């Protein structure tokens, strides 16, 4: 095949992708993304809270834990996944392209998971450093101390909610927990955030900004005050993986792996630090600083490696889109 034929085929493929990603209604893609974020927030956070009170009453902490797990799973599917599919179908001509529905290669998946293995301890080190600095500042500034007290209480609420869901007395409970905490959120949240929302932003924004803004909302949606910046960083990596691979299954796999291993460690070790990120008074912060710096250098080198070699690793099946800054 000649170079002209290859360029012609590539242009035809790009034109087809552009047609598939056009908006049906002519509605602004950024407006569509923000509307989706608002609707899902109202449905999942406010609507979910109202339904929880309506079904379980004020003493919902005493409700059957499996009933709460089923309710949580149902809320994810009805209030996050379903709106994502509806918005995509209503806004875009084609659903497959905007939602990045494509089977990735095994080498792609393994490579991207290696990045997650590097990123996870990096972010844990960052949280320790962040909380150490914040605690020290709160000791010297009364306003920050008041903020810290509020954030600590909010963190306890989040920790309590997750702690109840993660209680396990049997293999059946553990399997159910993996389904509720790892499988369902990975599918629902990634289809919505890295699928509909990020793809909508990408229509009018540079990919890096689309990934960052999507990740910011991803972090906010989780209501984890001390883990917010880490969640945004994690979401940005998910966004990078989604854009680079053009497959929603890659960020779904990353999301699942992140939650799955956290759940497994929690169930086997019972480490509450996995579900709590409250401010720490740890005086020996130097090892975390060293770990953060070293892992940051490794991670950014890894990202550069992916950007330069992804097409070769992928097997030259398609041209890898470059994440322009």
> What digits encode the pLDDT tens for the residues 271-300?
555 545 555 555 788 999 999 999 999 999
Residue 24: pLDDT over 80: no
Average pLDDT, rounded, for the chain: 84
The phi and psi torsions of 167 (rounded to 5 degrees) equal: -70, 130
Residue 249: pLDDT over 80: yes
Sorted by sequence, the CB contacts under 8 Å of residue 168 that are 6+ apart come out as 174, 177, 267
Greater model confidence, 187 or 307? 187
Question: Considering the entire predicted model, what is its pTM?
Answer: 0.87
Q: How far apart are CA 168 and CA 182, in angstroms?
A: 15
- DSSP calls for 146-214: HHHHHHHHHHHHHHHHHHHHT--SSHHHHHHHHIIIIIHHHHHHHIIIIIIIHHHHHTTS-HHHHHHHH
Greater model confidence, 303 or 89? 303
Average pLDDT over residues 204-221: 95
Q: Where are the domains of the chain?
A: 3-314
For residue 188, the model assigns a pLDDT of 97
The two structure tokens encoding residue 10: 């590539």
217-242: pLDDT as tens digits: 999 998 888 999 999 999 999 999 99
112-152: pLDDT as tens digits: 999 999 999 999 999 999 999 999 999 999 998 899 898 88
């Amino acid at each position: 095949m000649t170079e002209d034929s290859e360029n012609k085929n590539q242009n035809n493929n790009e034109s087809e992708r552009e047609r598939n990603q056009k908006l049906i209604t002519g509605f602004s893609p950024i407006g569509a993304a923000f509307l989706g974020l608002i609707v899902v927030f109202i449905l999942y956070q406010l609507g979910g809270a109202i339904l929880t009170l309506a079904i379980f009453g004020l003493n919902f902490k005493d409700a059957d834990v499996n009933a709460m797990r089923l309710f949580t799973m149902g809320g994810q599917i009805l209030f996050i996944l379903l709106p994502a599919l509806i918005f995509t179908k209503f806004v875009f001509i084609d659903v497959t392209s905007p939602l990045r529905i494509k089977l990735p290669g095994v080498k792609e998946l393994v490579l991207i998971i290696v990045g997650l293995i590097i990123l996870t301890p990096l972010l844990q080190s960052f949280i320790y450093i962040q909380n150490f600095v914040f605690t020290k500042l709160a000791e010297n500034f009364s306003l920050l101390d008041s903020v810290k007290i509020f954030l600590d209480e909010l963190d306890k609420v989040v920790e309590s909610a997750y702690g109840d869901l993660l209680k396990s007395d049997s293999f059946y409970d553990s399997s159910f927990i993996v389904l509720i905490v790892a499988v369902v959120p990975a599918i629902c949240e990634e289809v919505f955030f890295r699928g509909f929302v990020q793809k909508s932003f990408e229509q009018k924004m540079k990919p890096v900004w689309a990934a960052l803004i999507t990740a910011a909302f991803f972090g906010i949606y989780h209501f984890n005050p001390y883990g917010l910046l880490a969640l945004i960083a994690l979401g940005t990596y998910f966004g990078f993986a989604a854009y680079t691979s053009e497959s929603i299954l890659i960020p779904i796999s990353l999301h699942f792996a992140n939650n799955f291993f956290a759940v497994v460690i929690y169930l086997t070790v019972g480490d509450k630090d996995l579900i709590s990120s409250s401010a720490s008074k740890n005086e020996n912060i130097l090892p975390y600083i060293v770990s953060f710096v070293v892992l940051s250098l490794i991670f950014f080198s890894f990202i550069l490696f992916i950007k330069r070699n992804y097409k070769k690793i992928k097997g030259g099946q398609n041209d890898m889109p470059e994440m322009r800054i």
